[in-house]
Amino acid sequence: MNVLVLTGAGISAESGVPTFRGADGLWEGHAIEDVATPEGFARRPQSVHQFYNQRRKQLQHADVAPNAAHLALAEFEQAVMSPHTADDHESANQFLLVTQNIDNLHVRAGSQRVLPMHGELLKVRCIDTDEVFDWTDDLSLDTPHPQDPSNPRARGRLRPHVVWFGEMPIGLDRIARAASTADVFLAIGTSGLVYPAAGIVRQTSPACRRIEINLDDTPASSVFDETIRGKATVEVPQLLDRLAKEWKLG
Ligand code: BV8
């Protein structure tokens, strides 16, 4: 059984991380082109740094933690990938969790096979070398380079390690391969507005069972075999329990 999951901001909403397009959407007050494009960063780097500094600080707030949906996905991955389950099938199972979210809540919940296709908020990248560093502090134009802290010319050469609009998402080949062999595709808490993420469902085979969990209909809803309307913390654990029973997972 090959499982491919795609999550969006809706799975982290109940952990207190604002979605992009909800009433408290992140983009409100910030035009996309000003804070999530290379051009916006070139124009006003400091305001883009502030936008991500605020989100990086908020993500590390004590009240922000994985919720029942994140935890259920981590548990389900363990069950799908357990050696015991593999024995019952002619071939080993596969599991991939692709997330559009740049928060670290899936990894903190215990998910292992996670592909953050739009980057990670708690990582930064050197503009000159593309080297990636773990990062929990603020970034600014005066931030010393971690590898050359005493060199004033190396200051301010770090950017958030996130994929902006117009930039190439991460892992597209791996995602396409997983989509082409997926037996089940789950899309959880994503508005289906941003490509190529929103096109992944169409990369699955006609035989793939496509399930969407969302509060509302999305432009892609009609492509799914099953659309479950409700909150991720309620509907994800219930769906995964149902699938685990259907597949007799441990
Ligand atoms: C690219 C990281 C070239 C940064 C993000 C015209 C038409 C089509 C496409 C384009 C176009 N013009 C330009 C494009 C391409 C563009 C695009 O799609 N634009 C859109 C706006 C039209 N895409 C790009 O530029 C991408 N790159 O195309 O490069 C390329 C491509 C392929 C091959 C070669 C070259 C790069 C896009 C990545 C941008 N970076 N994030 C950051 O986070 O700051 S995008 C960001 O918004 C997220 O990462 C996510 O991907 C995206 C959408 O957000 P969602 O996760 O879906 O969240 P949203 O708030 O929208 O929705 C939440 C959903 O949850 C809702 O449905 C809601 O009902 C539901 N929900 C809420 N609460 C709950 C819930 N569900 C359940 N339970 C709840 N409690």
Whether 187 shows a pLDDT value over 60: the answer reads: yes
Query: Which residue(s) pair with 4 in the sheet?
Result: 96, 185
pTM of the model: 0.96
- Return the pLDDT at 30: 80
Whether 108 shows a pLDDT value over 80: the answer reads: yes
Query: Which residue(s) pair with 28 in the sheet?
Result: none
Q: Residue of the nearest CA to atom 23 in ligand 1?
A: 195
Rounded CA separation 72/125 (Å): 31
* pLDDT digits 0-9 by tens, 116-173: 999 999 999 999 999 999 999 999 999 999 999 999 988 999 999 999 999 999 999 9
- Return the pLDDT at 83: 76
Q: Which atom of ligand 1 is nearest to the CA of 166?
A: 25
Q: Which residue has the higher pLDDT, 91 or 247?
A: 247
- Return the pLDDT at 216: 97
- Return the pLDDT at 214: 98
Annotated active-site positions, please?
118
- Return the pLDDT at 92: 86
Q: Which atom of ligand 1 is nearest to the CA of 55?
A: 44
For 189, the enclosing helix (H) or strand (E) is none
Report the pocket of ligand 1 as residue ranges, CB < 6 Å: 8-10, 13-14, 19-22, 36, 100, 102, 118, 162-169, 189-191, 193-197, 214-216, 218, 231-232
* pLDDT digits 0-9 by tens, 57-105: 999 999 999 999 999 999 999 999 997 765 555 678 999 999 999 999 9
- Return the pLDDT at 25: 56
Whether residue 140 contacts residue 105, with contact meaning beta carbons closer than 8 Å, is answered with: no
**Span from the CA of 5 to the centroid of ligand 1 (angstroms):** 16
For 198, the enclosing helix (H) or strand (E) is none
Of 96, 109, 113, 114, the residue nearest 14 (C-alpha): 109
- Return the pLDDT at 28: 56
Rounded CA separation 76/117 (Å): 21
The region that residue 230 occupies, defined by phi over 0 for left and psi between -120 and 50 for alpha, beta otherwise, is left
* pLDDT digits 0-9 by tens, 15-49: 999 888 755 555 657 888 788 999 999 999 999 99
Q: Which atom of ligand 1 is nearest to the CA of 102?
A: 43
Question: 5 pLDDT band (50/70/90 cuts)?
Answer: very high
Ligand 1 pocket, mutate which of 5, 6, 17, 20 (most atoms under 8 A from CB): 20
* pLDDT digits 0-9 by tens, 207-226: 999 999 999 999 999 999 99
Kindly state the average pLDDT of the residues 179-206: 97
